[in-house]
Amino acid sequence: NENLPVPAYFIITFFISRLKSSINKSKAWTTTLNQRPNNLLNDPETLTLASSDYGNMVKETPAAVLQPSSINDIVQLISYAYNNPIPFQIAARGQGHSVRGQAMAKNGVVIDMSALRRNRKTPGIVVSCRRWTTGEFYVDVGGEQLWIDVLNETLGYGMTPVSWTDYLYITVGGTLSNAGISGQSFRYGPQVSNVVEMDVVTGKGNMMTCSPKKNCELFHAVLGGLGQFGIIARARIALEPAPIRVKWVRMLYTNFAAFTKDQEHLISLNGRKQMNALDYLEGLVLLHHNKPDNWRSSFFPPSDHSRIISLANQNSIIYCLEVVKYYDHHTQSTVDKDLEVLLQGLDYESGFKFEKDVTYVEFLNRVRTGELKLQSKGLWDVPHPWLNLFVPRSRIMDFNSGVFKDIVLRRNITKGPILIYPMNRSKWDERNSTVIPDEEVFYTIGFLNSSGFDDWKKFEEQNEEILEYCGKSGIEIKQYLPHYKTQTQWIQHFGSKWTNFQHNKFKFDPKNILSPGQKIFNS
């Protein structure tokens, strides 16, 4: 078909030629004929779905969408692109929960990883015991799997991964391509610090097993590698015994210095096996015009809403420290006392401590309830002009005065949570592709705004102003889930890691096939 874009033409020709040869080889040609072409779609509906993402601000249409039923389908597609005289670009699309087109492939092929989840013939999540003597467990997970399914499967064995994201309906491949952070990161590191082995399909179409000991260059490149070096087919993730319930506490502060001092004190207790440590720590900025509960979770008792609003009104801006201590049958009787000891001496506003006791799953899956509520009102699939930053601890007070208390209050447009919590650099592996500030303690700050379809630009203007302020004030932030328009900006983002990042690109994806939506090598 002369009207088809070039890559689609090549792919379809390729599959038809494969079909012809398999028809010749096999008598079961009718089955093959019915199945094979269905894998590669270019109907308008499928293309439209692959042309947008959770951000709803970028639209890039691929030539075709591959719906694989095995990793082999992916290997064949990439090999074909690589060996083609005119290579075409390919992006794995996990759940498409990026916000700036990172999982798109304009005029190329998007691999719909959800099809692999639905259609694969082998199990996508397998729990095993590494050493019976020490009780070391791990789970082998397909890159296309959702974290919620990993949670449910591993809990069946009384085990659980230890590092999470706040939201669980995203894929293992998608979060490992970034880092995967949440309130557990201060203690267990990001999700990329908890992977022990992977199978990866490189940009040359080679399937490689890698770990810190085997093909370690590929292993570390892929973790936090923004999809640039290969498609994660399988990740092996360490497991620990699962708790049953959690004590979940929120405390309100009017004083930012007291708030950050308490956060930093609590994350200094961070040994993996340490008993007197929290299991999760995050924080929120609450503005006078926001409701105390937002889509992230409903927490505060409705009867307390009015006094929380009044505290926020009096101060324009207040800060919420959020912590969690897990417990099981063995620790049930001591958890309250343990938590009391941990929270002793904290400087929150008297009378503004709130507590909940929920199951481990309810806690980890807390964002889902808010999502379903928003979906029912048609408010989930709206533009999301998000900005996520890592800010060095030494400049967090400046960030508060220049960004929260000036830009954010002055513009007064915030519509969504603002997250703020610290983490420890020592829990991150320097060899991975992830980029973080050069200080032991740094904060993650997320401006998670939702907007209307015609007013997202004003949030982008606010984001620009925040970035400009940091630049002018010499606050050496790093973007998380980064987005840049030029390669010069990417080089600046990666800093001393750029040379290695580029070297790995030449080595594992020399024809620049993978994840073009990140716009690193084709900006």
Q: How far is the CB of 40 from ligand FAD (least distance, A)?
A: 18
Verify whether residue 465 is a known catalytic residue.
Answer: no
Q: Which is nearer to ligand FAD, 96 or 402 (CB)?
A: 96
Q: Could you give the CA distance from residue 373 to residue 8 in angstroms, rounded to a whole number?
A: 39
Q: Which is nearer to ligand FAD, 226 or 423 (CB)?
A: 226
Q: Which is nearer to ligand FAD, 164 or 352 (CB)?
A: 164
Site membership for ligand FAD, residue 518 (CB under 6 A): yes
Active-site residue among 53, 149, 282, 509? 282
Site membership for ligand FAD, residue 7 (CB under 6 A): no
Verify whether residue 166 is a known catalytic residue.
Answer: yes
Tokens of 158: 């009384």
| Segment near ligand FAD (CB under 6 A); pick from 209-217, 282-290, 406-414, 510-518 | 510-518
Site membership for ligand FAD, residue 71 (CB under 6 A): no
What residues from 336 to 395 belong to the interface with ligand FAD (CB under 6 A)? Answer: none
Tokens of 189: 């590191």
Q: How far is the CB of 233 from ligand FAD (least distance, A)?
A: 7
Site membership for ligand FAD, residue 81 (CB under 6 A): no
Quick one: which of 7, 62, 108, 174 contacts ligand FAD (CB under 6 A)?
174
Residue 112 phi/psi, 5° resolution? -80, 100
Quick one: which of 50, 57, 232, 466 contacts ligand FAD (CB under 6 A)?
232
Site membership for ligand FAD, residue 432 (CB under 6 A): no
The residue behind tokens 């606050």 is 475
Q: Could you give the CA distance from residue 142 to residue 116 in angstroms, rounded to a whole number?
A: 9
Q: How far is the CB of 104 from ligand FAD (least distance, A)?
A: 8
Question: Residue 359, Cα to own-chain centre: how many angstroms?
Answer: 23
Quick one: which of 61, 65, 97, 449 contacts ligand FAD (CB under 6 A)?
97
Active-site residue among 53, 60, 144, 166? 166
Q: How far is the CB of 35 from ligand FAD (least distance, A)?
A: 23
Q: Cα dihedral sign for 252, 466, 401, 475?
A: positive
Do 496 and 431 form a contact (C-beta atoms < 8 A)? no
Q: Could you give the CA distance from residue 30 to residue 448 in angstroms, rounded to a whole number?
A: 50
What residues from 117 to 146 belong to the interface with ligand FAD (CB under 6 A)? Answer: 143
Quick one: which of 11, 115, 170, 284 contacts ligand FAD (CB under 6 A)?
170
What residues from 207 to 226 belong to the interface with ligand FAD (CB under 6 A)? Answer: 226
CA distances from 52 to 381, 455, 473 (A): 10, 18, 35
Site membership for ligand FAD, residue 180 (CB under 6 A): yes
Please list, in sequence order, all residues whose beta carbon lies within 8 angstroms of the beta carbon of residue 457, skipping any fewer than 6 positions away. none
x/- string (CB under 6 A) for ligand FAD, residues 51-70? ---x----------------
Sheet with 40-41, edge to edge strand ranges: 40-41, 64-66, 109-112, 90-93
What's the count of helices (H) and strands (E) in the chain, helices before strands? 19, 18
Q: How far is the CB of 129 from ligand FAD (least distance, A)?
A: 25
* Element (DSSP H or E) covering residue 110: strand 109-112
Do 294 and 416 form a contact (C-beta atoms < 8 A)? yes
Site membership for ligand FAD, residue 231 (CB under 6 A): yes
| Three-state secondary-structure class, residue 117 | helix
Site membership for ligand FAD, residue 178 (CB under 6 A): yes
Q: DSSP string covering 412-453, please?
A: ----S-EEEEEEEGGGS-TTSS----SSSEEEEEEE-----T
Q: Could you give the CA distance from residue 250 to residue 241 in angstroms, rounded to a whole number?
A: 26
Quick one: which of 80, 82, 167, 447 contacts ligand FAD (CB under 6 A)?
167
Q: Could you give the CA distance from residue 247 to residue 257 in angstroms, rounded to a whole number?
A: 25
Quick one: which of 39, 76, 154, 182 contacts ligand FAD (CB under 6 A)?
182
Quick one: which of 103, 198, 266, 420 contacts ligand FAD (CB under 6 A)?
103
Q: Could you give the CA distance from residue 391 to residue 400 in angstroms, rounded to a whole number?
A: 11
Q: Which is nearer to ligand FAD, 67 or 95 (CB)?
A: 95
Instruction: Give the burial string for 469-506 (b: 16+ CB within 10 Å, else e).
Output: bbeeeebbbbebbbbbeeeebbbebbeebeeebbebbe
Q: Could you give the CA distance from residue 352 to residue 412 in angstroms, rounded to a whole number?
A: 25
Q: How far is the CB of 89 from ligand FAD (least distance, A)?
A: 11
Site membership for ligand FAD, residue 165 (CB under 6 A): yes
Quick one: which of 73, 140, 149, 166 contacts ligand FAD (CB under 6 A)?
166
Q: Which is nearer to ligand FAD, 270 or 294 (CB)?
A: 294
Active-site residue among 97, 220, 384, 483? 97
Quick one: which of 98, 294, 432, 450 contacts ligand FAD (CB under 6 A)?
98
Quick one: which of 68, 87, 108, 173 contacts ligand FAD (CB under 6 A)?
173
Tokens of 265: 């004190």
Q: How far is the CB of 367 from ligand FAD (least distance, A)?
A: 6
Verify whether residue 282 is a known catalytic residue.
Answer: yes
Q: DSSP string covering 441-506, please?
A: EEEEEEE-----TTSHHHHHHHHHHHHHHHHHHT---EESS---SSHHHHHHHHGGGHHHHHHHHH
Q: Which is nearer to ligand FAD, 311 or 323 (CB)?
A: 323
The residue behind tokens 């015609």 is 454
Interaction site with ligand FAD (CB under 6 A): 54, 91-98, 102-103, 113, 143, 165-167, 170-171, 173-175, 177-182, 226-227, 231-232, 481, 515, 517-518
Q: Which residues are catalytically annotated? A: 97, 166, 282
